[in-house]
Amino acid sequence: MSKINISDKIIAELIEAADKARDNSYAPYSRYRVGAALYAADDSGEEMIITGCNVENASYPAGNCAERTAVFKAVSDGYNNFKAIAIVGGNDSYTSPCGICRQVLREFVAPDEFYVIMAKSKTDYVIKTLEELLPMSFGPENLAGV
Protein backbone atom coordinates (compact mmCIF):
# COMPACT_ATOMS: atom_id res chain seq x y z
CA MET A 1 0.00 0.00 0.00
CA SER A 2 1.35 3.40 -0.92
CA LYS A 3 1.34 6.30 1.53
CA ILE A 4 -0.70 9.13 -0.01
CA ASN A 5 0.94 12.48 0.70
CA ILE A 6 -1.45 14.95 -0.92
CA SER A 7 -4.38 16.76 0.68
CA ASP A 8 -8.05 16.11 -0.13
CA LYS A 9 -8.35 19.83 -0.93
CA ILE A 10 -5.63 19.70 -3.60
CA ILE A 11 -7.11 16.49 -5.02
CA ALA A 12 -10.53 18.19 -5.34
CA GLU A 13 -8.98 21.29 -6.96
CA LEU A 14 -7.07 19.17 -9.46
CA ILE A 15 -10.15 17.16 -10.41
CA GLU A 16 -12.17 20.35 -10.86
CA ALA A 17 -9.43 21.88 -13.04
CA ALA A 18 -9.14 18.70 -15.14
CA ASP A 19 -12.90 18.60 -15.62
CA LYS A 20 -12.88 22.23 -16.79
CA ALA A 21 -9.94 21.60 -19.17
CA ARG A 22 -11.96 18.74 -20.63
CA ASP A 23 -14.41 21.34 -21.98
CA ASN A 24 -11.65 22.42 -24.39
CA SER A 25 -10.95 18.89 -25.64
CA TYR A 26 -10.64 18.68 -29.42
CA ALA A 27 -11.70 15.10 -30.13
CA PRO A 28 -13.82 15.04 -33.30
CA TYR A 29 -12.51 11.59 -34.31
CA SER A 30 -12.68 9.48 -31.17
CA ARG A 31 -15.23 11.72 -29.41
CA TYR A 32 -13.44 10.66 -26.23
CA ARG A 33 -12.89 13.92 -24.37
CA VAL A 34 -10.16 14.11 -21.74
CA GLY A 35 -8.90 16.82 -19.41
CA ALA A 36 -5.84 16.73 -17.16
CA ALA A 37 -4.51 18.97 -14.38
CA LEU A 38 -0.92 18.84 -13.14
CA TYR A 39 0.11 20.02 -9.69
CA ALA A 40 3.46 21.65 -10.38
CA ALA A 41 6.09 23.91 -8.85
CA ASP A 42 8.80 26.04 -10.41
CA ASP A 43 12.40 26.41 -9.16
CA SER A 44 11.39 28.99 -6.54
CA GLY A 45 8.76 26.61 -5.14
CA GLU A 46 5.78 28.54 -6.47
CA GLU A 47 2.93 26.05 -6.92
CA MET A 48 0.60 26.00 -9.88
CA ILE A 49 -2.09 23.93 -11.50
CA ILE A 50 -1.45 23.53 -15.22
CA THR A 51 -4.10 21.94 -17.37
CA GLY A 52 -4.33 20.21 -20.73
CA CYS A 53 -6.83 18.47 -22.96
CA ASN A 54 -6.53 15.93 -25.75
CA VAL A 55 -6.00 17.49 -29.17
CA GLU A 56 -6.74 15.15 -32.08
CA ASN A 57 -5.74 15.52 -35.72
CA ALA A 58 -7.05 14.41 -39.11
CA SER A 59 -3.71 12.62 -39.40
CA TYR A 60 -4.55 10.46 -36.39
CA PRO A 61 -1.06 9.77 -34.92
CA ALA A 62 -0.39 13.52 -34.76
CA GLY A 63 -2.93 13.87 -31.95
CA ASN A 64 -1.88 14.44 -28.35
CA CYS A 65 -3.25 13.15 -25.04
CA ALA A 66 -4.46 15.53 -22.33
CA GLU A 67 -1.69 14.49 -19.92
CA ARG A 68 1.10 15.22 -22.38
CA THR A 69 -0.48 18.54 -23.33
CA ALA A 70 -0.37 19.51 -19.64
CA VAL A 71 3.24 18.32 -19.18
CA PHE A 72 4.52 20.12 -22.27
CA LYS A 73 2.69 23.33 -21.34
CA ALA A 74 4.11 23.17 -17.82
CA VAL A 75 7.71 22.47 -18.81
CA SER A 76 7.71 25.17 -21.45
CA ASP A 77 6.43 27.65 -18.84
CA GLY A 78 9.22 26.76 -16.39
CA TYR A 79 7.32 24.32 -14.16
CA ASN A 80 8.96 20.91 -14.11
CA ASN A 81 8.59 19.78 -10.53
CA PHE A 82 5.43 17.70 -10.48
CA LYS A 83 3.60 16.19 -7.54
CA ALA A 84 0.35 14.87 -9.04
CA ILE A 85 -1.92 14.79 -12.06
CA ALA A 86 -5.69 14.42 -12.20
CA ILE A 87 -7.32 12.96 -15.30
CA VAL A 88 -11.00 13.21 -16.19
CA GLY A 89 -12.40 11.41 -19.24
CA GLY A 90 -15.76 9.80 -19.76
CA ASN A 91 -17.44 9.75 -16.35
CA ASP A 92 -18.66 6.17 -16.59
CA SER A 93 -15.08 4.88 -16.28
CA TYR A 94 -11.76 6.00 -14.85
CA THR A 95 -9.38 7.27 -17.55
CA SER A 96 -6.00 5.67 -17.10
CA PRO A 97 -2.97 7.34 -18.72
CA CYS A 98 -1.59 5.61 -21.81
CA GLY A 99 1.91 4.15 -21.84
CA ILE A 100 3.45 7.08 -23.67
CA CYS A 101 2.04 9.56 -21.14
CA ARG A 102 3.30 7.43 -18.24
CA GLN A 103 6.79 7.54 -19.72
CA VAL A 104 6.61 11.28 -20.40
CA LEU A 105 5.59 11.90 -16.77
CA ARG A 106 8.36 9.59 -15.58
CA GLU A 107 10.99 11.92 -17.03
CA PHE A 108 10.23 14.57 -14.42
CA VAL A 109 9.27 12.69 -11.25
CA ALA A 110 10.30 10.14 -8.69
CA PRO A 111 7.74 7.45 -9.56
CA ASP A 112 6.90 6.57 -5.95
CA GLU A 113 6.32 10.22 -5.03
CA PHE A 114 4.02 11.17 -7.90
CA TYR A 115 0.27 10.58 -7.76
CA VAL A 116 -2.04 9.82 -10.66
CA ILE A 117 -5.64 10.63 -9.79
CA MET A 118 -8.12 9.02 -12.19
CA ALA A 119 -11.48 10.63 -11.54
CA LYS A 120 -15.11 10.16 -12.47
CA SER A 121 -16.06 13.03 -10.15
CA LYS A 122 -14.66 14.97 -7.17
CA THR A 123 -15.75 12.19 -4.84
CA ASP A 124 -15.24 9.15 -7.06
CA TYR A 125 -11.62 8.60 -8.03
CA VAL A 126 -8.75 6.11 -7.96
CA ILE A 127 -5.30 7.24 -6.93
CA LYS A 128 -2.08 5.39 -7.72
CA THR A 129 1.58 6.28 -7.67
CA LEU A 130 3.38 6.37 -11.01
CA GLU A 131 5.51 3.53 -9.64
CA GLU A 132 2.36 1.38 -9.47
CA LEU A 133 1.40 2.27 -13.05
CA LEU A 134 4.91 2.06 -14.53
CA PRO A 135 7.04 -0.32 -12.47
CA MET A 136 10.77 -0.80 -13.11
CA SER A 137 10.73 2.26 -15.36
CA PHE A 138 13.53 3.71 -17.42
CA GLY A 139 14.42 7.30 -16.56
CA PRO A 140 17.11 9.95 -16.78
CA GLU A 141 19.15 8.26 -14.02
CA ASN A 142 19.70 5.31 -16.33
CA LEU A 143 21.59 7.53 -18.71
CA ALA A 144 23.77 9.15 -16.04
CA GLY A 145 27.42 8.52 -16.72
CA VAL A 146 26.88 7.27 -20.24
Give me the catalytic one of 13, 67, 131, 132.
67
Among 18, 54, 82, 125, binds ligand THU (CB under 6 A): 54
Tell me the closest approach of the beta carbon of residue 115 to ligand THU, in angstroms: 15
CA distance 29 to 62: 12
x/- track of binding to ligand THU for residues 89-128 (CB under 6 A): ------x-xx--x---------------------------
Binding of residue 30 to ligand THU (CB under 6 A): yes
Q: How far is the CB of 133 from ligand THU (least distance, A)?
A: 11
Beta-carbon neighbour count of residue 39 at 10 Å?
25
Collect all residues with Cβ–Cβ distance below 8 Å to 86 and sequence separation of at least 6.
11, 14, 15, 17, 18, 36, 37, 117, 118, 119, 125
CB of 44 to ligand THU, least distance (A): 30
| Alpha carbon distance 51, 35 (integer Å) | 7
> What are the catalytic residues?
67
